[in-house]
Structure 1
Amino acid sequence: MALYEIAAFGNPMSGQLEALQASLQEAAAAFKIPWGTDFKLTIQPEIFQPSQRTSAVVVYFGSPGDSGGDISGLFDPASVTVIPVASTETEVANEVPSALQFINCHLTDRGGNDRLVATVLECLGLLRRQRRIFLSYRRTEAKMAAIQLFDALSARGYEVFLDTHGVARAVDFQEALWHKLCDVDVMIMLETPTYFKSRWTTEEFGRALSKNIGVLRVQWPDLTPSKETQTSSRVELLAEEIDAKGVLCGNALDRICDQLERFRSLSHAVRRLSIMTQLQAAVESISGRVRGVGPHFTMHVELPGNRELNISPVVGVPDSSALHDAARRAGGRHSAVLYDHVGVLPSWNDHLSWLGSNIKGAYWIRSSQAAWDLAGWSQI
């Protein structure tokens, strides 16, 4: 039985299915999930009834005149997540079977294959549903470009943190900023000539790296890359793509947004695998072992004394739903949520501790002290 299954139905346009499969194979490799066994794509199966233990999604490619299409007997929209695909919003009623028209569609005119793949990964639980981005820039050099990106990314469904927009009044500005940074998928740095001459932007870049947050570097024209950013993914702006006032022109915004869509999956995979590797090392250091990894990256751990525990590593800042999901997936067994508390607001860490002490069956583990906590585990 596969951990992750995708079924493709409908009438894809030329090249659509091939592009989807190629991108899903790349994603499987990034997450180190064996393609064809634990991660499967099935094309036009006679019936799709995945196990309840499998994370599954249907991609239905609509086509002109398909509104009367019959999906009964193929799959049940009430029991499996479905992503209908249509060309434009106005064509949904013509291209998508009526039984699926109540579902919000992927529209190809608002996002190509990269956006579709991201939606599939989000539905499978491999990517977070929240699409969070942190904009790091110098106000003196890139304020206009930052505002443009804020608007463009927001229109594409991202939650974007911009320092002039995202911090409430009467709170500790830097504490709130670091908390926001901890909870993003990618940091976009606008690398202007004096980016690394500012204490604040230098700290933002360094702390993003310390948290294994992917950095997408937008390099200003004719700028020599700094040694600090040589390993970052980048978008190089052309001279004609930015005017004298610092306003982005031409295709610059689209190029940045498209690169971000591709980079986000890889960034999340690296961060996820990092915290899982950290947990495995902690378990083995106290003579325990990881027996396997299930859907949603739930790690089945055996501690000394044959004590068993399901641990769900979380990327970003967790909330009460993380405990709920961990307990639900554990099926009555003891469970815990692993997270990185560094940089998270003290008040939020206190809130999580309170939740852990008042909700039975699920607990918090801080990644930096996982071995210590697990060695003294008394709940099981």
Structure 2
Amino acid sequence: MPANRPLLFLLIFASTVVALSMGIRHGFGFFLPPMTQSFGWSRETFALALGLQNLIWGIAQPFSGALADRHGPGRVLLVGGGLYAAGLALMTISSSGLLLAGSAGLLLGLALSCTTYSVVFSVIVRAVSPEYRSRAMGLTAAAGSFGQFIMVPIERGLIDGLGWMPALFVLAGMAALLLPLAAPLEKAYRQAPELPMHRGGMLRGMADAMAMAWEQRSFRLLMAGYFVCGFQVVFIGVHLPAYLRDHGLSGEVASLALALIGLFNIAGTYTAGYLGSIRPKPMLLAGIYFLRSIIIAAFVLLPLSPLSVALFAAAMGFLWLSTVPLTNGVLVSLFGVNHLGMLSGAVFFSHQVGSFMGVWLGGLLYDRTGSYDVVWWLAVLLGLLATAANLPVREHLAPAAAART
């Protein structure tokens, strides 16, 4: 991308928001053993709360994205930062499954909908010229991976050094750092070229845009593929530490695995964004889902060791969030940028339904069978189905969207 100081600062601030928001959540799996032991819960109780978090995140995302499209990201980010800090702090006193569902589920789900990709991308697609949008979104999505790489060992260290309850208070303080980042993103939104928007109410505009999108087969196929993405990454992110512990591997191995996922995803996500600017994005998406299935199958079939875990984490990490810039890039190709925050949120809802199923089924089937094997193989099968779903996706501007431009 060309040298441009305002654009550089925008990408730094946007990347910092995503790194903080995504980085903190990627360490939640480390709280599963100590919290379930402290409160006497089953794994399903903890998994259900995090599954609800992902579901709420997905349900709220189209609305927070639409608000950012129409009114700018500033107030959306302020609300999200406040909810993030409150939800983490309230987890410390969530002594029942219902209370945990309220703090870790409802509040953090709403917070994540206000502080992640759809809201941030609503600014980037306005401020960045079309030939560089895919790369800019890839760079910003890669920041989420960098946040994971940094935050996973920090969260593990906080739990080991201070205990799980003080660790949550420290994370609440870190989440509050999202609040001052709202102003520069709001400024960038106001300075970007103004786009024609639906003149009616926000809900009417959302309904019209969604109806336009749903008519397109490619949009529906993208939603199907993104469901699988959510299922795979959230199941692995939450349950991998417990899976490794069940097989006699230390917490350090699990921490290293999640950190490696974050580290390799920095390169993988940026690479996906770059390739998306020069190669067909649907083909790249199909390739990502196919490779994920191969990698997961190999991980389950081969003997488990620290080396195999590290290789699995590196390979999966390269593919982890690489779907994000490509999926959003296809949406821009199909529908333009006017409603990207809302339509990105709508597709992301499907992702989060998959996330809910992945994390909840992981806990439920473990409690029923004493093993994660069924869910691992389900992740493999779904990856192959997502491969088939993305192959027919097209990137041509939809007729209804073209008529609006």
Q: Give TM class, smaller chain.
A: under 0.3
Instruction: Compute the TM-score of the two structures, normalised by the length of structure 1.
Output: 0.25
Larger radius of gyration: 1
Instruction: Compute the TM-score of the two structures, normalised by the length of structure 2.
Output: 0.24
Q: 1 or 2, which has the higher strand percentage?
A: 1
| More relative contact order, 1 or 2 (CA 8 Å, 6+ apart) | 2
